[in-house]
Each structure stands twice: as structure tokens, then as C-alpha cells.
Structure 1
Amino acid sequence: MRLLMLGGTEFVGRAVVEAALGRGWEVTVFHRGRHEPPAGVVSLIGDRTAPEGLAALGTGSWDVVVDTWSAAPSAVRDAARLLADRVGRYAYVSSRSVYAWPAAAGLAEDGPLVEGSPDDGDVPYAEAKRGGELAATAAFGPERTLLVRAGLILGPYENVGRLPWWLTRIARGGQVLAPGPRALTCQYVDARDLAEWTLDAVAAGLSGPYNLVSPGGHATMGELLDACVRVTGSDAELRWAAPDELLAAGVAPWTELPVWLPPGEMYDAMHTADVSRAVATGLRCRPVAETVADTWAWLRSVGGTAPQRPDRPPVGLSPEREAKVLAELTASGE
């Protein structure tokens, strides 16, 4: 198989490239030149947001293109139109954010969607991803377009900072504010599992939308954070706090304590997706301990500081804020 990866030097795109190379596929990476692509690929340089930025893609043909773009849908539109006659299938890594808010618990792929347009410029994330879906489908047709609606993505090369923040914080040791309950399940997908499923799907000729996160019950907050303690070898003591305690202390779910959401509307939307369609077509999710261990190994290999996407704000509690919340919980006898 001949793969054209739009991006391919960071996180999800890199996972797709490495998975394809591992299968012996011929891989071409179109990127801006800001990061070194994996060895063994054909590298094409261009900026899809610039005038004539797609010039490097003016010739060539591939079996499949994979695109992770999350900004202006017009960039997906332009690339898809350019490639439609020279590429067999288009796999667009979208997001479960395309579902109209609030996304009901157990929502499947036929849930209501946000509005979007392939011609949009800078729009909010949900509308951008929906516009990207529409752009790819308009150019390639529904039978040649695969829409990978990912949820929370973790794993090596993460440049959003969620799991790296937990690993770095727990490695520092001491009492760690842990959002409960321990048994609260969380849905995510390891970027490498997303990559393998996506490549399997395009090779099998699958099309249409698929929710792509782990099945319900795959992991809990307790299992995730316990794995962080084990792999870092720190003396960290997890100080579990109930959702109402954290909310009363003004802690912001998801941003100040990454991954975690208290039970309720946001939790239902993020951590209870129906993924039966993806599971039926071969989605396999590695154990949470493996994702944590491999992310820690990668984090250490880059000096302990993960790269940060410039379009995403840093996540996690500051040491001062965490200490304040822990002191308040202790003073209240919780």
C-alpha cells in the first residue's frame, strides 16, 4: 500500500506513519518541515495554509491519504480536491466533538451533529472537524471516505500534555491530588491503536463514521494513576478526593486535572461513547499500563519535557494550587 500522510511528524500522524512503515507500506509525508519525519519516508515540504502551499502534491498517486487537520476546513477541502483523482481513499481523523452538545450517554455514530461547512475558515474546533468531514466526503464521495471520530487520545508523542502532566507530577512524588472515584471509568484511545485500526480499515475498504475510543470499562482513573505511580517508581501518595469536594474547591475538570470528568453531562459526552461499530471491525485497545509505561519511556527519552501544541493551552494544576487544595481538604477533615 502507498500512503500519503498529511502531517506525520507529531503524535497521531507520527503513530500512523510508524504503523504503516511497520507493515512495509510505502509512505510519503507532507509536512511543514518543523519536525524531522520518521526515517524511511519520502518527505514533501509545504504549508497547506499558504498560497501555492500544496504545490509539492501536484503530482504522484497513492492508495490512501490520512489527514489529521483540525483547523480551517477549507484546508481539507483544497487538499481533498487536489488529490481526489490520484488517491484511492481518504481517511480523515475527526473527533467525537462533531456531535451536537450535549452528546447523550452511549451515543453512536448516528447521533445529531454540529453544523459545519467545507468552506469555513477559522471556526471553533467542533465546527472545524465537522467541516473537515464534509470537505473530505464532498471530494472523495461517501464510499471512499473514512471518518475516524476519535475521543481522548493518549500515548507516546502526545503533544497536548494530559498523560505527560500526570506522569511528570507523579514522578515528582509526595501527596498527589487524585480525582475520584477510583473506579470511575474513562474512555480514550492509544494513538498507536488508532493508527493500526485506521490502516486496517482503509485496507479493508471501510467508509463512513466510526467512534474510536476504548470500550466502556477498559480503564478507570485508579488504574491510570496507579500505573503512573508504578512506572515512575516515585514515592507519590495518591490523595483521592470525591467529585463534589473537588468542584467545591474550584478545581476545573479536564483542564486542571487532565482526563478526569465528574459524573454528569460532560462525563456522558466524553467517556460513554458507543464504540461497538469499531470493535466489530477489529478495534483492539492495549492495556492502560502499557500506554502509561510506553509514554513514560518516550517522555524520558526526550528529557522529561513533552512538546506542546501551540494551539492548545497547557494543562494541569500548578504546584501552588494543588498544595492549596490539598490543605483545604485536610483542614476540612475530608
Structure 2
Amino acid sequence: MKVLLFGGTRFMGRYVLKALLEQGADVTIANRGTREENIGATNVICDRSQPGALEQFANSKFDVVIDFSAYASTWVEEAGNFFANKIEKYIFISTGAVYSSSNIFPITEDFPKGPPHPFADYAREKNRSEALLQEFSNKGFFTTTACRLPFVLGPDNYEDRESFAFSRLLKGLPILLGNGGKSIHSFVYAGDVADAIVAIINAGKKVDKQAFNIATQQATTSRGFVELAARVCKKETNILPYNPDDFALDVANFDLRNVAFPFPENNGYLGSEKIKETIGFVPKHNLESMLEIYFKWWLEKGDLEPKEYPLEQRILEKLNK
């Protein structure tokens, strides 16, 4: 099996590469060349924002394309037309953000998509990409499956999520939680995402035109995330609730480069029964085991200092006055 992986030099892609290599796959990773090469794969430079970037694959033979890096739906449109009748399957890494905001949980694959949604632009591009791939499949170009992911955790996570909590807990620092941390989140372990992708490949045409939520069965609040992290590292929590309205904060302006807490105050509980019923896939890890694995890796890595964020400092300063 020959697989082309768009993206894949960071975090989740490394897990997928490992899982594919264990299946005996011949893997090519295409990215902009801004990261180190992945051992075991053929690494090629491909900047999809540039016209004609895919032409280097004109004489290549692939069975499966896995697309991690389609930030713009036009990239999926170009790839779909380019690989038409040249590949068997196109797997698109999508997001739980495609769904409209909901007060009914869990959110299943048949829920409404699109606005109203706090991450409208991001969701719009992902929804258009999914729709394009459905059209390509209807035309017989290839089969396609979308993987809708929640927050993905695990070693090599380049986002300051698990490390945000652990670094503050180890130092006894306060952790700010908007509205007391009541927002509900879904999670999945990066290794489980990789296993799900392998299962989807092996399922063949059975999963054509399907979209699957891939998440643990149990959802957790922001406060619950902190409390589980505290249990894992055997420290007491020091939680400081605050009112986001006092600082003109809303979900739409959430920015991981400047946070008070690394998850937005937005409810998102994804149900994942469909993939279980369709191909029998169930994630192996719950949130606590994800945090245990990450914490051990993070301690060995040794970069334990909390990252500083102006927003966090601004809120702390006002609360301490």
C-alpha cells in the first residue's frame, strides 16, 4: 500500500506514520519543508499555497491520500481534481468545529453544520472541503472519509495544553478558569487517531462518503481537565474562577498564542458511536490515561517551565488587586 500524507511532520502525523509503517505501507510525506524529515518515509517539499505544487506527483502512484494540511478548501479542490481516478481513497482530517453550536449532547454526525459557530471561518473551510470530497466521490474519482476530531492530546503535542496545566500545578500556581471551568470538551489520544485511520483504510468502500467523530466516550469540563491533571501529577489544584465578560473575552477571539486557559469556553461533546457501529473502532485511551502518558513523557523531556501569556497575567493582576 502506497500512502501520500499531506502534513505529518508534527504531532498527529508522526503517530499516523508509525501506524502506517507497522502495516507495511510505503509512505510519502509532503510538507512545506519547514520541519525535520520523518525517518521511514519519503519526504518531499510541497507548498500547496503555490500554483502547480502537485505536479511533482504526476507520475507517482498512490493508493491512499491522507490530508492533514488542507487549511484552505481550495487546496482540497485542487487535490481532488489532480488525483481523480489515480487513487483509491482520500481521507480528510476534519474537526468537530464543523458543527453548529449546540445545547444538545453528545453531538453526532447528523447534527447541523455551519453557522452559528464561534469559529466560523475555520468551520466554513472544513465544511466546504468535506462537501467537495463528497462530490468527487459521487463522480467516481475515489472513495472518501472525513475524520472529525476534538482536542487531540499526547506526547509531541506542540500546543501548550497538557503542559499548561502540569507546569502550573507543579509550581503551585493558580489556574484561571472562565466561569469556573464549566465548558464541556471532548478529547482523543493521537495514537487512537492513527489507529482509527488505519481501520478506515482497511474498511474499504464500506466507509465511502462517511464522516466519523473520533473521540473518547467521556467528555470533561475545563475544571475536570485540571482536576484530572492534578490527580496524575499528585498536586493540589489552585483554581481561580473569573468572568470573561469583565475582560471583553469571547470564544470568537480565542487565540492559543495568548490564553488564560488552553481550551475555549465553548461546549463541544462529540459522540463517537457511529465509527464503533460501522467498523468496530473504539479509542483505547480515556483522558486520564492520555494525561498519564503525556506527563511521563513531559517530565523526561525536561522543559517544565510555564509559558507566559499577557492575557493570563492581565487577569491575574486584576483579580489580585
The answer to whether the superposition gives a TM-score over 0.5 is yes
How is 1:1-334 mapped onto 2 (pairs within 5 angstroms)?
Answer: 1-102=1-102, 104-114=104-114, 124-141=121-138, 144-177=143-176, 186-205=185-204, 206-207=207-208, 208-217=210-219, 219=220, 221=222, 224-229=225-230, 237-240=236-239, 245-247=242-244, 250=247, 255-259=259-263, 261=265, 266-267=266-267, 270-271=268-269, 273-280=270-277, 281-299=280-298, 304=303, 318-319=312-313, 321-322=315-316, 324-325=318-319, 327=320
Tell me, what secondary structure is at the counterpart of 1:193?
A: helix
TM-score w.r.t. length of structure 2: 0.79
Moved over 6 A (4+): 179-184
**What is the deviation of 1:156?**
2.3
**Is the alpha carbon distance of 1:185 and 1:95 closer, same or farther for their aligned partners in structure 2, counting shifts above 3 Å?**
closer
Tell which deviates more after alignment, 194-203 or 222-231. 222-231
Q: State the identity as a percent.
A: 22
Once the two structures are superposed, what CA deviation does each residue of 1:16-40 show, in whole Å capped at 9, x if it has no partner? 1122123332211111111123211
**What is the deviation of 1:196?**
0.9
Tell me, what secondary structure is at the counterpart of 1:321?
A: helix
User: Whole-Å Cα distance in 2 between the matches of residues 222 and 101 of structure 1?
Assistant: 21
**What is the deviation of 1:300?**
5.2
Once the two structures are superposed, what CA deviation does each residue of 1:2-23 show, in whole Å capped at 9, x if it has no partner? 2211111012222211221233
**What is the deviation of 1:294?**
3.1
Aligned residues: 302
Once the two structures are superposed, what CA deviation does each residue of 1:118-149 show, in whole Å capped at 9, x if it has no partner? xxxxx910111012112323334487110111
Unaligned runs of 5+ in 2: none
User: Whole-Å Cα distance in 2 between the matches of residues 54 and 289 of structure 1?
Assistant: 41
**Is the alpha carbon distance of 1:315 and 1:108 closer, same or farther for their aligned partners in structure 2, counting shifts above 3 Å?**
farther
Tell me, what secondary structure is at the counterpart of 2:131?
A: helix
What do you get for the CA RMSD once the two structures are aligned?
Answer: 3.3
Unaligned runs of 5+ in 1: 116-122, 309-313, 329-334
